[in-house]
Amino acid sequence: MTKQGNDVENAPIAINDEGETMHDREELFLKENGLDADGIDREALLTSFADEMNAGLAGRASSLMMIPSFISIDRPVKTETPVVVLDAGGTNLRAAVVSIDGTGQARIGSFSKRAMPGTQGALGAEAFFDAFAEFLMPIIAESESIGFCFSYPAEITPACDARLIRWSKQIEVPAVVGQMIGSGLLRHLAQRGYERRVVILNDTVATLLAGKSAGVAKPYSAYVGFILGTGTNTAYVERNDRITKRADLDPSGLMVINVESGAFRGVRQSAFDVTMDAQTIDCGHYTFEKMISGAYLGWLGFTVLCAAAQAGFFTAAAAERIAAWPTLSNKHLDDFCGGRPTPDNPFQDTAFSTDDRETAVRLCTPVYARAAVLTAVNLASAILKTGAGHDPARPVCVNVDGSTYYRTLTADFPQRVQRELAALLKPRGIAYELIRVDESPVIGAAVAGLM
């Protein structure tokens, strides 16, 4: 922190353009520690995103891995054929049997869900794969093919297996890093007597495919898949001749690229980001994701509150209570700042005075406002990278998925993202449409399994 202790008490009161005194002790504290949503240089970030994306495609040093998916969007999809789908997300592992009809609509049946292995304590590799195989047993007989949506950074092979590059979202199964995920699953299925084929794809690639499938009748010029849930990431369709780090691609073809945008390094961390990052199991990695996604926003707000409590922003009772919390969930913080706390919300504690509560809202709302600005910059970067959307009759289709995007109440979140995005793209004459397809990762994994 650059500012601690009672210094803040003496901080000057800022005057805005109209000469009015702003209620800004909290705002100053945040700014002095590097958290300032309004001050973000959006244009500079767009340039930085574009540079990093180009470097990643060329195989030069970049924070963006730009992972080829080996999935194109124009292959025929078998209709009225069931496929087994496995969806390994940041919080849940889900399975279903899915079929797609002639109009691109999905039928999802035999749906089941459990906690994602590795979220409830550390696990070994064999136990991890076994949990996946076991989970599929009730539906495995339904299809020879498995579409596997895997929501972690993984290098995809031309045969659509996936080698885990690293875990994100604080998953604790270190032994699986570097291993082939599809082969591990197939090995454990074979031990149970089932020979299968598997297609693995990132959840943003699946989301892009689900958007394409749902919007099949519409004349879109390009497709983007974006997720803001427990984690965050972006996928878009790239020309193979621009993926110059690979010499084995048909230069006339197209392929979906998994950007791994959560790993973007172009945004300077505030003092709060640095403090929180130091407590994660992957310090220094995925710093962009740690600023905008559901796994971290509550934790980040909690970091702000702890620092503010130490700096004398709260009554002694409230400061003591904050210091005693182990952390703060995103749901609790967002419900509270968004004005809809449930009775079990920690801020309902009588230790908090009305002033304490208002102070907490003023300190944490900017955490969400910054996330909205960065989300918009991320989306705009992907839309611009498609090179499309110049004809208003053929917008870029952006399928957005993820609970953090849709459910965040604080800072008027989804509307703020949309306003910011329009401010970046309208002046450039880029037409785009944000769409929502429920169960996108599951549907997209089915589409890939049926290609």
- 289 near ligand BGC (CB under 6 A): yes
Cα 23–Cα 25–Cα 31 angle in degrees, nearest 5: 115
Instruction: Extract the tokens encoding 288.
Output: 């962009």
Q: Rank residues 26 and 238 by Cβ distance to ligand BGC and give the closer one.
A: 238
Quick one: which segment of 54-62, 149-157, 178-186, 216-224 binds ligand BGC (CB under 6 A)? 149-157
Site size toward ligand BGC (CB under 6 A) is 17
Quick one: which segment of 185-193, 229-237, 301-309, 406-414 binds ligand BGC (CB under 6 A)? 229-237
Conformation bin of residue 195: beta by default, left when phi > 0, alpha when psi is -120 to 50: beta
Please, what is the minimum distance in Å from the beta carbon of residue 89 to ligand BGC?
A: 6
Cα 272–Cα 276–Cα 280 angle in degrees, nearest 5: 160
- 444 near ligand BGC (CB under 6 A): no
C-alpha–C-alpha distance, residues 72 and 64, integer Å: 20
Please, what is the minimum distance in Å from the beta carbon of residue 209 to ligand BGC?
A: 13
When binding is defined by CB under 6 A, the residue of 82, 147, 184, 231 that contacts ligand BGC is 231
Of 148, 156, 394, give the one whose Cα is nearest residue 257. 156
DSSP-derived secondary structure for 189-217: HHHTT---EEEEE-HHHHHHHHHHHHTTT
When binding is defined by CB under 6 A, the residue of 233, 381, 386, 410 that contacts ligand BGC is 233
Q: Cα torsion at 78, 154, 150, 196 (round to 10°)?
A: 50
Task: Return the residues of window 64-103 that contact ligand BGC according to CB under 6 A.
Answer: 90
Q: Rank residues 143 and 232 by Cβ distance to ligand BGC and give the closer one.
A: 232
Please, what is the minimum distance in Å from the beta carbon of residue 67 to ligand BGC?
A: 9
| H/E run at residue 326 | none
C-alpha–C-alpha distance, residues 143 and 168, integer Å: 30
Letters for 108-147 (x = contact with ligand BGC by CB under 6 A, - = none) are ----------------------------------------
When binding is defined by CB under 6 A, the residue of 33, 99, 119, 168 that contacts ligand BGC is 168
Please, what is the minimum distance in Å from the beta carbon of residue 171 to ligand BGC?
A: 9
Of 349, 342, 355, give the one whose Cα is nearest residue 312. 355
Of 127, 97, 125, 129, give the one whose Cα is nearest residue 111. 97
When binding is defined by CB under 6 A, the residue of 84, 227, 256, 360 that contacts ligand BGC is 227
On whether the CB atoms of residues 261 and 331 are closer than 8 A, the answer is no
Cβ-proximal residue to ligand BGC, closest one:
231
- 151 near ligand BGC (CB under 6 A): yes
- 424 near ligand BGC (CB under 6 A): no
The upper half-sphere exposure of residue 232, i.e. CA atoms within 13 Å in the direction of its Cβ, equals 27
- 52 near ligand BGC (CB under 6 A): no
Letters for 181-210 (x = contact with ligand BGC by CB under 6 A, - = none) are ---------------------xxx------
When binding is defined by CB under 6 A, the residue of 152, 336, 368, 413 that contacts ligand BGC is 152
Residue 310 Cα distances to 229, 307, 363, angstroms: 31, 5, 13
C-alpha–C-alpha distance, residues 49 and 261, integer Å: 9
Contacts with ligand BGC, residue ranges (CB under 6 A)? 90, 151-153, 168-169, 202-204, 227, 229, 231-233, 260, 262, 289
